[in-house]
Amino acid sequence: MGRENANALILGILFLLAGLVTDRIKAAPITAASVSGPTFFAAGIGQGNGQQGAAMGFSTTNTLLGVSVTAPISTIAFDGVVDAYLTRKFGPGTTQSDVVQHVTVNVPVNTSNPNFPQFTPVTFFSGLTLSPGDYYLVLAQYGPNTTGVGFVFQGSQTFTFAPGVSFLGTYGTNSQSGTFAPGFGGWSNEEQNSLFAGDIAFTATATTVPEPGSATLCLLAGGSLLAACSSRSRRRPQKL
């Protein structure tokens, strides 16, 4: 093998390793979107509280893989049957076709001091692939009881968003009828609430699709290795 071939082979191997390492780093789980902080039982969902619904949203310009969505939930006197939707929109005109996934979760009663309820992180969705766009976590309770969602007052929030991901706000509604919360009307921005201003806590974790740069490295690696092998084959002396 000549020096040029050896150099091409080494360069190809380096490109390949760089591409694989880059992809490995980018595949690590990340916090795609998160609102956190001291949580209070200041926002409830269910007919016991006027059949309120809650929605919090985020937008992504990247494809997100293995998405899990979690929010702190608390009940005081009764078990809470919570319906959770991950939707592309909410409000009047929203249909089932806008729903990415819908689950119903039973949240056990919280037997702690009702004045200081303990919140349980509930993972409503996991393993999802989300293409670029807007997404909303919509929570509702259709029964007669009230379930609390973790509310963080204005000024106490900690916002964490990955590159390409942005916050779309927290919204609430009440006194609605029906059993399809994403289609409820009367939503208002909770950050502008005159009585309790703030956001509802939630976290979305994910991995991101590797950027084109790492794929290009792998292609370059393959090209370099192919060129080295082809050149070596052409120069191989033939037996008499």
Residue 141, domain CATH:
2.60.120
State whether 16 and 106 are in the same domain: no
In a domain, residue 136? The reply is yes
State whether 217 and 192 are in the same domain: no
Range of the domain at 19: 3-26+212-235
In a domain, residue 240? The reply is no
State whether 96 and 188 are in the same domain: yes
| 169-194 confidence digits (pLDDT tens) | 999 887 677 889 999 998 988 887 76
63 exposed, middle or buried (CB, 10 Å; 0-12, 13-18, 19+)? middle
Output the pTM of the full model.
Answer: 0.74
Provide the pLDDT for residue 53: 85
| Weakly modelled stretches of the chain, pLDDT under 70 | 1-27, 41-44, 46-51, 76-79, 109-117, 143-145, 175, 194-195, 208-240
In a domain, residue 164? The reply is yes
Instruction: Please name the residue that has the structure tokens 């049957």.
Output: 81
| 53-94 confidence digits (pLDDT tens) | 889 999 999 999 999 999 988 876 566 788 999 999 999 999
Q: Where are the alpha helices (DSSP H) in the chain?
A: 3-26, 212-235
State whether 125 and 145 are in the same domain: yes
State whether 221 and 181 are in the same domain: no
Angle between helices 3-26 and 212-235 (to 10 degrees): 160
State whether 60 and 98 are in the same domain: yes
Type of residue found at 73: I
Please answer whether residues 128 and 137 qualify as being in contact, where contact means their C-beta atoms are separated by less than 8 angstroms: no
In a domain, residue 10? The reply is yes
In a domain, residue 94? The reply is yes
Provide the pLDDT for residue 103: 96
